[in-house]
Structure formats: C-alpha cells, structure tokens
Amino acid sequence: MSWATNGGVRIRYETAGDGPAMVLIHANPCDHRMWLYQTARLEVRFRLLAVDLRGYGRSDKPETRYAFDEVAGDIRAAMAAEGIGRAVLMGASIGAKLAFRLAADTPDAFPALVLIGGNAFRGKSYDSRIEGYRRDGVAAYRARHLEELFAPGFAATGAGRHLCGMLTDDSARLSGAAIARLFEAFDGVDLAAEVPSLAMPILIVNGEHDLSLEGATRTAALIPGAVHRLIPGAGHLCNLEQPAAFDALVEAFLAGHGLWPEIA
C-alpha cells in the first residue's frame, strides 16, 4: 500500500509488476480492485500503478467541493510519487474522462490510451447519482448503481454476485457525501472540443449494453485514428464481465503500436 498527496488530500494506490509503466484509473462506484483480471494478466509485462480515486478505497474522502482538475492532479501526484514520467493510460468511465484530461494537458507523457466507456461529453446520469448517494447513502445505493453498470442479468450470475460483493464490501467505510462530491467535480465537464487534438493511439471499448455507448461512439468519431471496439453481451464494466475478450483487444491494440513488451 502506497500513498501520494495532492493539495492535502491523500491518495492510496497499488503497484505491481515490472516493465514499461501503465496507470489504471477505475470507474465509479469501484476502486482499484476493478482491475483485478487485468492486473493478473498485465503485471508480467508492465509496471502497474492503480489508484483509488478520492472518495474510494483508503484514499481520503473530502466532502467539500473541489474541481475536476484537482482529481486529475491526484493521478499526477501518484505518478510523481513512483517516479513515473511516461505511461500507457487505462481508464474506465470517470477514469476515461480523467485520461482525456491528462493526455490533453501532457500528451508526451502518455504513448497510448485504453478507455472503457470513453465518453468525452457530459454524462447523462450524474444528477441522479449525486441525488442517490446523498439521499440513500453508500450502503443502500452503491449496490444498485453497480448492478446497473453490468449487462442485464449479469449481477445475478455466480460471477456477478461474487464481483458485486467484492466491490461493495467496503461500503461501510465510504461516505455518500464524498462520492457525490466526486460526481459534482465531473458535472458539466465536456472535453469534446479538446479530444480531436489527441494524436497518440487511442482504443475505446464499450460493452453492447453500455449506457455510455452513444457518447463513446460520438467521441471516437471526433478523434483521428481512434479505434472503437464493442464487446457483445457486456455492459459498462466489460473488463470485469468478459475479461478475456477485453484483454485480447488491449493486447492486439498495444502490440499493433509496438507497446506490448515481451516478458522479461
């Protein structure tokens, strides 16, 4: 367990593996554990850094208002703490929007982006999520939120029950107000005017049932050379529902750009 600090906010992150750096930024309402399958596959080739966004895991949980760019600064602080100046960037949902922000600000630091969701436009569900976490609290609302991010019926399967239980087992130590603040930081953030300038290789992956598919399709069309792939039968968290299919897309994409290292 390692820590970085940004403006007085402590950010917890995990590292694993050796090789070229890869930074992993999770989705709401998960933490770094949403990358468990990818960590198992990628740590033999990459040096992985997986953060817990503020509000989640053991990172601080500020309940006062802050800006979107401060959250991006949390990722930069974790990279700096590990001496990482250049890394493939993998982000999911809210993590994908952070990846767009980071890549637009410092394009030379990120040789490629792998994005789940990948919607540069304002999310349609932010208002209801903010209200839900404030009104119902984490324990009551988070499980419903997570279930909605999977394909219909997946949460009721054996694998789905296990993953949902694992990803929500720390809900008692989280703050609904803090999670609402994270959503508020992204509310109104629209990066559609910035993403066309991104020149690094970009892969955007959506599940067939992903609620962000429409926005991701529009986003991919704005970025010259962006690769957009769909995983049939999966939802928003397609890397958890169908890890083999997701990992195969990542490997083919990175290998095609000379960014898939041999095992040392």
Give the separation between CA 222 and CA 119, rounded to whole angstroms. 11
Give the separation between CA 178 and CA 260, rounded to whole angstroms. 37
Domains of the chain and any CATH numbers? 2-256 (3.40.50.1820)
pLDDT digits (tens, 9 = 90+) for 173-212: 999 999 999 999 998 899 999 999 999 999 999 999 999 9
* Structure confidence at residue 126 (pLDDT): 76
Give the separation between CA 33 and CA 44, rounded to whole angstroms. 18
Pairing mode, strands 21-25 and 9-16: unpaired
Is residue 254 within 8 A of residue 260, CB to CB? The reply is yes
Average the pLDDT over 228-239 and give the result: 98
pLDDT at 80 over 70: yes
* Structure confidence at residue 124 (pLDDT): 65
Alpha carbon distances (Å) from 178 to 55, 66, 114, 220: 5, 11, 27, 31
* Structure confidence at residue 230 (pLDDT): 98
* Structure confidence at residue 82 (pLDDT): 98
* Structure confidence at residue 125 (pLDDT): 65
Look over the chain and give the mean of its residue pLDDT values, rounded to a whole number. 96
- Which tokens sit at 36? 């468990």
Least confident of 72-81, 123-132, 166-175, 246-255: 123-132
pLDDT at 122 over 90: no
Average the pLDDT over 91-118 and give the result: 98
For tokens 């006062």, what's the residue? Answer: 64
Full 3-state SS string of the chain: CEEEEECCEEEEEEEECCCCEEEEECCCCCCHHHHHHHHHHHCCCCEEEEECCCCCCCCCCCCCCCCHHHHHHHHHHHHHHCCCCCCEEEEECHHHHHHHHHHHHCHHHCCCEEEECCCCCCCCCHHHHHHHHHHHCHHHHHHHHHHHCCCCCHHHCHHHHHHHHHHHCCHHHCCHHHHHHHHHHHCCCCCCCCHHHCCCCEEEEEECCCCCHHHHHHHHHHCCCCEEEEECCCCCCHHHHCHHHHHHHHHHHHHHCCCCCCCC
pLDDT digits (tens, 9 = 90+) for 147-174: 999 999 999 999 999 999 999 999 999 9
pLDDT at 264 over 80: no
Average the pLDDT over 47-71 and give the result: 98
* Structure confidence at residue 3 (pLDDT): 97
Average the pLDDT over 207-219 and give the result: 96
